[in-house]
Amino acid sequence: MKENTEVTIYDIAKKLNLATSTISRGLKDHHSISKKTIQKIKKTAEEMGYSPNNLAASLRGNKMKTIGVLIPTVTQPFLSSLISGIEITAQKAGYTVVIMQSHDSYKEEVNLTKSLYNNRVSGVICSLAMETKDTAHFKIFTDNNTPLVFVDRVPKHFETFHVVIDNFSAGYKATKHLIDQGCKRIAHITAGYEYSIFYERKNGYIQALKDHGLPVLEELIVKVDEITYDEAEKVSKKLLNLKNPPDGIFAPGDILGVSALQFAKKRGIKVPEDLAIIGFNNDPISLIIDPSLSTISHPASKMGQASAEIILKYLKASKKNDEIEKQITFLNTEVLARESSNKKQIK
């Protein structure tokens, strides 16, 4: 386990052979310090990787019993359940939870990671923003012995803890379910970039088609820029306007599946007789919509619980200076077949 390499104003003072009070005032642009000295102090601080501690001076160097949670948004039912699982587990252990939203913005995510670090959280749980490809900004935690867990949306190459489902397998299961219902032209709505969870779900869809002798047609694979109802409605219109429209749709999010279902109903297309649809996540809306939406279970609360347990285990072990091997935790998913895809049940 790495030693804590946190840089303090004492380190800067030693390097510049200045008083710590001078360093402190210089970092705050105090009028008693010359501009030249301020520039020198700030340049040295940046080169040494110094970050200001926002806590009281008496707490300097200590970490609070707080777990930082950085997610795209709290409005998605999946992420709300994820937070619930984290909070229940953390609170039982005497930890509080701080929640921050990136709103799927890479720039905002970078700023929030700095804020979490500067506030000396004990550990961090993160589900990446949709825009994020470069995850270098998270090294500030691993370099300073702060446990970091990526959950659900995780980076492909970053050595730390991951809590995920097998998105390839889940995409395969969803597509196979539609094939088992007799669908021959199955469309897929995708999102994100290469190596994202949506990319893996798409690969599962493609493999299921190949394994069952069905063609992979580019015209039946459409991409949304955002996981929203309106975006899904646009691509659903594109799919159903095809000369030979699909007889099945796999949407990798329930809001996307609901949008496709309602657009089909507006067009007078019978679901599931003419078009079978399956979503992803098992959000509450999947049961409220008529017909009810088939979906893939996504154990959000359990993923949150597992993430918090990893943080707590790491913190307990670190006090003993033990090493915990970085790991990937996989949780299971299953097909929840409902009215929107059960073609065989109505025959």
* Sequence letter at residue 69: V
What is the pTM for the complete model shown?
A: 0.77
- The pLDDT, as a whole number, for residue 78 is 93
In the chain, the domains with their CATH numbers are 9-50 (1.10.260), 66-165+300-331 (3.40.50.2300), 167-298+335-346 (3.40.50.2300)
**Distance (Å) of CA 228 to CA 59, 129, 190, 234, 246:** 43, 15, 12, 10, 21
The residue to which tokens 């949306």 are assigned: 153
- The pLDDT, as a whole number, for residue 3 is 46
Cα separation, 232 vs 242, in Å, equals: 16
Cβ atoms of 303 and 152 within 8 Å: the answer is: yes
Q: SS3 sequence, 265-332?
A: HHCCCCCCCCCEEECCECCCHHHHCCCCCEEEECCHHHHHHHHHHHHHHHHHHHCCCCCCCCCEEEEC
Q: pLDDT tens track of the chain, all 347 residues?
A: 344 567 888 789 889 999 888 988 888 888 888 999 999 999 998 888 887 654 444 344 456 799 999 999 999 899 999 999 999 999 999 999 999 999 999 999 999 999 999 888 999 999 999 999 999 999 999 888 899 999 999 998 898 999 999 999 999 999 999 999 999 999 999 998 877 899 999 999 999 999 999 999 999 999 998 889 999 999 999 999 999 999 999 999 999 999 999 999 999 999 999 999 999 999 999 999 999 999 999 999 999 999 999 999 999 886 554 556 678 999 999 999 999 999 876 55
250: β partners:
188, 278
187: β partners:
249
| Nearest alpha-carbon partner for 223 in 241, 201, 247 | 201
List all residues 6 or more positions away from 225 whose beta carbon is below 8 Å from its beta carbon: 191, 231
- The pLDDT, as a whole number, for residue 2 is 43
